[in-house]
Chain A
Amino acid sequence: MYVAVKGGERAIANAHALLAKEGRGDPGLPRIEQAAVAGQLAVLVARVMTEGSLYDPELAARAILQAQGDALEAVTLVRSYRTTLPRFGYTVPVDTAGLPPQRRISATFKDLPGGQQLGATFDYTHRLFTDHDADPDGPRADREAEPRPDMPRVTDLLGAGALIEPDHAPDDGDPEPADLTREPTIFPMSRAERLQALARSDEGFLLGLAYSTQRGYGGTHPFAGEIRVGEVEVEFDAPELGFPVPLGRVELTECQMINQFTGNSATPAQFTRGYGLAFGRSERKAMSMSMVDRALRAAEFGERVVAPAQDEEFVISHSDNVQATGFVEHLKLPHYVDFQAELGLVRRLRSEFQLRMDVEPEPVPTDLAELTEARA
């Protein structure tokens, strides 16, 4: 009995064997291949890459398989691997204005240079179950034959007329980017650090926060200025060479949100921005991120911080799902030492209470809440 309470090496080994068996499913069916996951569950792969902060579709697909489809477990796998990799330097900023968008929409202008392009989207699909095998040749999509026109960013068009704040201060040069995976995070953070944290934040958490700003908890008056999805070239800045070296292409989703304008008697009115960027097709994440980014800039614009989405410490401290799921689930670990300590105290308090009652019986307090109130 005593032994049963304490776990052991054999218990762990048995549990892991059972886990592997459960994960295999019906052995009569073929195993899902990694390449199939990367190709057919690309949206999930994008999420694992974004929150895992590592662009590697194959590795993300492998993580999803190993995690038996548990996205957060897959993110943890990717992060634990990523953190051991050496850091050689930084890439030059990716040029999202120059990316040939597979999708590009703006909710602020009916038409604009480059046009609107719907691309691969679930929007306007009817959410009805469809039969995948209806077309024996598989799905077909006609690729555009003509070369794509230039698609300048909506925010750049607005920026030309100074109708929106510039995307960076004119005199900030090209500072070394902060890296929250390599340096301690200290509050308050710079916006760059905050954006890094938001980029790896849990999609669901950001979605909920973004939604809360739409329902009156720290409104930011957002317009989807532009959402674009496409592949962009990544270039590595190698100081010893003196010129950037192309590393490859990554698929990105970018969201530029146009928000509540500022201005007063001294400065002309100007829209503000919120920014979101994620790997792969991750539109929900990029949009949520841009709204939370804008909400977190409250102090910068002298807005009153009244809602959770505007509170940097609240948002950033709780948005990382690797941390959140780990700490919530750590309650599964034994706590019997601490519980014993509490048990001892509660028994002592109860016996002292009983002793007092025996000496001078009092009516039972009506305020039961006070009795049951948890100690801090």
Chain B
Amino acid sequence: MSTNLGGYNLGYLDEQTKRMIRRALLKAVAIPGFQVPFASREVPMPRGWGTGGVQVTASIIGQDDVLKVIDQGADDTTNAVSIRSFFAAVAGVRTTTRTEEASIIQTRHRIPETSLAEGQTIVYQVPGPEPLRFLEPRETETRRMHALADYGLMYVKLYEDIARYGHIATTYDYPVMVNGRYLMAPSPIPSFDNPKMHRSPALQLFGAGREKRIYAVPPYTDVESLGFEDHPFEPQRFAQPCAICGSAGVYLDEVITDDAGGSMFVCSDTDHCERAAPDPAGSVLTGDGADTEVNA
């Protein structure tokens, strides 16, 4: 699409670094859900803005790849635009907004509505790779807990939610058990998206740049969201369809339309919405935001 930047290697990272990250990725795929420490490099965007995802993508991308980048489900959010143009510049790859055309999808906070297929790779940007971090701040401790599969603390937390609120009060970055062994943070995707991870035919890679961890879920791996027999995991559901395209059973953004409580609910996945819309102009406004409830 555009020419490579002078003075930088193809894909920005030097080949030694790519090799180091690929080794970490191989280990991550071999031990699904296990956080592999890696010597995270600086990349030309700030920490916390997708530097882990960028390093993973930079290490696996080749010139035959077609890249899609989304943030909050949308291809046109500023950071998605920024990362997409970065790879167009440093890797010279083709980019797309169509989910099924992409061989690599880098994402922040969503999994596309269109089902992923075999051969596709989804790269998650991860702010906090450690699902136990807010329960136990120490790395030395959480490492031991993972080694012993000692996840009682997390179940206690979920139980306390139920005792206090009547529900599990985690709505995003909802913890999952991978391959029946490792507790894993799915990154801050809404719990709505969690079921898409289970036995997905796509390879799922997770990069946490600031925290220097890589992990993975190989295709067709079990990914179970935590729950109890009497309080099973319930993904969020929206009561109404998208105001633009009419899709039901998709994740929606609430867009505030005026200062009198008016709002409309529209697809978070812009690619899905564009293609599902019968008539792009036919949008509907809803009156009261409080009527449009999300089920946790």
Chain A residues engaging chain B, CB cutoff 8 angstroms: 1-2, 5-9, 11-12, 76, 79-80, 82-87, 180-188, 313, 317, 322-330, 333-338, 340-345, 347-349, 351-352, 375-376
**B residues less than 8 Å from A2 (CB atoms):** 244, 255, 266, 283
A182 touches B8 (CB 8 A): no
B114, CB-defined interface residue at 8 Å: no
Whole-angstrom CA separation of A309 from B8 in the bound complex: 39
A342 touches B171 (CB 8 A): yes
B192 touches A6 (CB 8 A): no
Contact with A184, one of B39, B81, B138, B254 (Cβ below 8 angstroms):
B39
Chain B residues engaging chain A, CB cutoff 8 angstroms: 8-9, 12-14, 16-17, 20, 37-39, 41-44, 46-49, 51, 71-74, 76-79, 81-82, 85, 108-110, 127, 134-135, 137-140, 157, 161, 165-167, 169-173, 188-192, 210, 212, 236, 238, 244, 251-255, 257, 266, 268, 270, 283, 290, 293-296
Residue with the greatest number of chain B CB neighbours at <10 A, chosen from A7, A187, A335: A7
B81 touches A9 (CB 8 A): yes
A329 touches B78 (CB 8 A): no
B255 touches A327 (CB 8 A): no
Contact status of A341 and B192, CB under 8 A, knowing A326-B48, A334-B77, A347-B293:
yes
A8 touches B42 (CB 8 A): no
B253 touches A336 (CB 8 A): yes
A345 touches B109 (CB 8 A): no
A313 touches B167 (CB 8 A): no
6 A-B pairs (CB sep. < 8 Å): A86-B16, A326-B49, A330-B127, A336-B253, A337-B110, A340-B252
**B residues less than 8 Å from A324 (CB atoms):** 47
> How far does the Cβ of A177 sit from chain B's closest Cβ, in whole Å?
14
**B residues less than 8 Å from A184 (CB atoms):** 37-39, 212
Q: Which chain A residue lies CB-closest to B213?
A: A184
A343 touches B210 (CB 8 A): no
B42 touches A79 (CB 8 A): yes
**B residues less than 8 Å from A328 (CB atoms):** 48
Q: Which chain B residue lies CB-closest to A331?
A: B48
Whole-angstrom CA separation of A82 from B42 in the bound complex: 8
B78 touches A11 (CB 8 A): yes
Q: Which chain A residue lies CB-closest to B37?
A: A184
Contact status of A8 and B76, CB under 8 A, knowing A348-B293, A349-B165, A376-B135:
yes
**B residues less than 8 Å from A340 (CB atoms):** 190, 251-254, 268, 294
A334 touches B71 (CB 8 A): yes
**B residues less than 8 Å from A313 (CB atoms):** 137-140
B210 touches A344 (CB 8 A): no
Whole-angstrom CA separation of A75 from B251 in the bound complex: 39
**A residues less than 8 Å from B72 (CB atoms):** 334-337
B290 touches A338 (CB 8 A): no
> How far does the Cβ of B83 sit from chain A's closest Cβ, in whole Å?
11
Contact status of A333 and B71, CB under 8 A, knowing A340-B190, A343-B254:
yes
Contact with A187, one of B17, B127, B140, B255 (Cβ below 8 angstroms):
B140
> How far does the Cβ of A327 sit from chain B's closest Cβ, in whole Å?
4
> How far does the Cβ of B94 sit from chain A's closest Cβ, in whole Å?
17
Whole-angstrom CA separation of A322 from B40 in the bound complex: 13
Contact status of A338 and B188, CB under 8 A, knowing A6-B270, A348-B293:
yes
Whole-angstrom CA separation of A80 from B82 in the bound complex: 16
**B residues less than 8 Å from A348 (CB atoms):** 167, 293-296
Contact with B81, one of A12, A185, A376 (Cβ below 8 angstroms):
A12
Q: Which chain B residue lies CB-closest to A350?
A: B290
Q: Which chain B residue lies CB-closest to A181?
A: B39
A330 touches B49 (CB 8 A): yes
Contact status of A338 and B157, CB under 8 A, knowing A326-B210, A345-B294:
no
B268 touches A337 (CB 8 A): yes
Whole-angstrom CA separation of A9 from B95 in the bound complex: 14
Whole-angstrom CA separation of A25 from B294 in the bound complex: 49
Contact status of A186 and B37, CB under 8 A, knowing A337-B190, A338-B109, A345-B294:
yes
> How far does the Cβ of B20 sit from chain A's closest Cβ, in whole Å?
8
Residue with the greatest number of chain B CB neighbours at <10 A, chosen from A8, A86, A333, A338: A333
